[in-house]
Every structure is written in structure tokens, then in C-alpha cells.
Amino acid sequence: MSSQPAPTIPSCSAQAIIDWVFSEGRRIESSNRFVHQLAHQMNHHGAAIDRLMVSLLTLNPQLVATSETWDKATDITRPIHASHGVRDTERYIGSPLQAIYETHKRVHQRLDRLPEDAHRAYTELAEDGYIDYLALPVLFGETSEPGAAIVICTKREGGFSEADIESFRRIRDYLAPVLEVHALRYLSRSLMNTYVGKRTSEKVLAGMIKRGDADVINAALWFSDLRDFTRLTETLAPAQVLEMLNDYFEFVAAAVTAQGGEILRFIGDAMLIVFPIDDNMCEQTACQAAIDA
């Protein structure tokens, strides 16, 4: 007798999941909620998954990727943001995600048959009772580079059959355009927040883009720059100047964000920051928040 597990996703069930993706699923704007609902749909139609992660590569000064991970035991979908430095860590080097993004091929690993030198990404899941691991690259547009990855894990005895994997591959192909929209939406918000500020980016994305459009706000203003910056640029190496600016911006940003401030603009070595006066912060509170920062 064959030890191959019986398929859990009939062809008709895979089609039902695809139909949901293109009817209700594509209208869900929140990536967190989309992954949560997708996991429920897949289990409802027999996929027998216990963990689902969708990872999206992004263009962000601080992040290289953002992901949403659903766990069946808690029925919670958690967001995880990966900084650029993660690619130099043991957590990433040798991991299945590195293999996905560098080889562009699927990764399938039984977790109950791990070699002694297995990566911790596998061993940690095995310790939690997972039996099988499948990661699939997702291609966007005409590029040959994966723009996302889907990771599916199960605790089901026997793991995934070849028929299951083929169903997941088919579902992945239909998920690609929807995930690309999520990635582009995250990218647009990320870039707008970075270069014009969260408040202004929300206005722009809501349609305030015509010449003459304006927004009047009440706020306490913070304007600061570095003492003797001109002299520093003339005496320090460019790399040292950039490192100093990055440290300075990060230090100030942490201070003002903690007090409810928002950076509107970087101007060379200067920073323009607002502490909005609104329903959540009166004039006195806004001014005090600026001083505290």
C-alpha cells in the first residue's frame, strides 16, 4: 500500500476557493483580514491547514517585507514586519524563504522527517506539532522575480499529498493578481507616508491631488536642524555625514512619534514636525507634547 496521504482538496473545492478570491476576497482591502478570511475559506473547503503566511516584498526605507500569519490554534492573524537587516541574520540565511526568493522554486519539507542540521524555521514548527511545510513563490506582472511568498503548514497526519500541492499551486496562481494589488496598495501608502507624512498621504490617496487643493490644520510646530551642519559637511567624509543624519533623524523621530507628533518634511539637516490640535489633543496638550518630545 502507498504511504501517500489522500488528497484533502478536491478539484471542485479548489475552484470554490478561487471563486471566493475573485468575488468577496478581492474586495477586502486589509491584508490582515484577507489572509484571515482566506485561511478560513481554505479550511472550509477541505485544505486542512493549521498555519498560513503571506509574505509581501515591499519598497520601504525601513522594511524589506511585510507578512500576515494566521494560526489555527488561536485563530489570530499577526502582522510581522522584516527590516532590511534581516537578510544578514541566521533567521533568514538558509531559511526556506531565502530559497524561495533566490531560486524562485517551491519548497516542500516534511517536518516529521527533518535532517539533524535542519534550519530553525523548520525545527520550531516541528516542535509545535506541525507535520508538513509548503512554500510557494508568487510572481507579479511580467517580472521573473517573486514579489511574494505563500507558506502553508499542516498538523494533519500524513501531510500534503501531491494532489494537495497541485491544488495549492493552482490557487496560488489565481491569488497572484489579488496579492499584487495588496502589495501595490501597501507600497503606495508606505512611500506616501515616508515622503509627505501620514496625514498628507491620507489626503492625497483620498483624492486631494488637484492644483490648489489645500488643507488647513491647527497644530504646534516643531522646526529643528543640526548646529554647525555646514562645517560638518565640509570636514567629514560623505559616508560619515549620512550616518550622522540617519542617527539624528531616527533619534528625533522616535521622540516626537512617542508624543503624537508627525514628521512632515526633511529639509537637508532640518525637520518640520507637527503636533495636531484636534479632538484628541487640545492646544495646551499639543504644545506640551512638543516640549516633552
**Spans of all domains in the chain:** 11-196, 216-292
Give the pLDDT confidence of 223-244 residue by residue, as tens digits: 988 889 999 999 999 999 999 9
Average pLDDT of every residue of the chain: 88
Contact (Cβ atoms closer than 8 angstroms) between residue 276 and residue 219: yes
Confidence of residue 2 (pLDDT cuts 50, 70, 90): very low
* Grid cell at residue 263: 514628521
Mean pLDDT on 236-262: 90
Mean pLDDT on 188-213: 73
Whether 11-196 and 216-292 share one fold: the answer is no
pLDDT at 280: 78
Mean pLDDT on 109-124: 94
* Grid cell at residue 89: 541574520
* Grid cell at residue 228: 554647525
Confidence of residue 1 (pLDDT cuts 50, 70, 90): very low
pLDDT at 10: 66
Q: What is the DSSP string of 94-157?
A: TSHHHHHHHH---EEEETTS--TT--HHHHHHHHTT--EEEEEEEE-TT-SSEEEEEEEEE-ST
- Give domain 11-196's CATH architecture: 2-Layer Sandwich (3.30)
Mean pLDDT on 144-164: 92
Cβ atoms within 10 Å of 155's Cβ, excluding its own = 18
Which CATH number is associated with domain 216-292? 3.30.70.1230
**3 pLDDT more than 60:** no
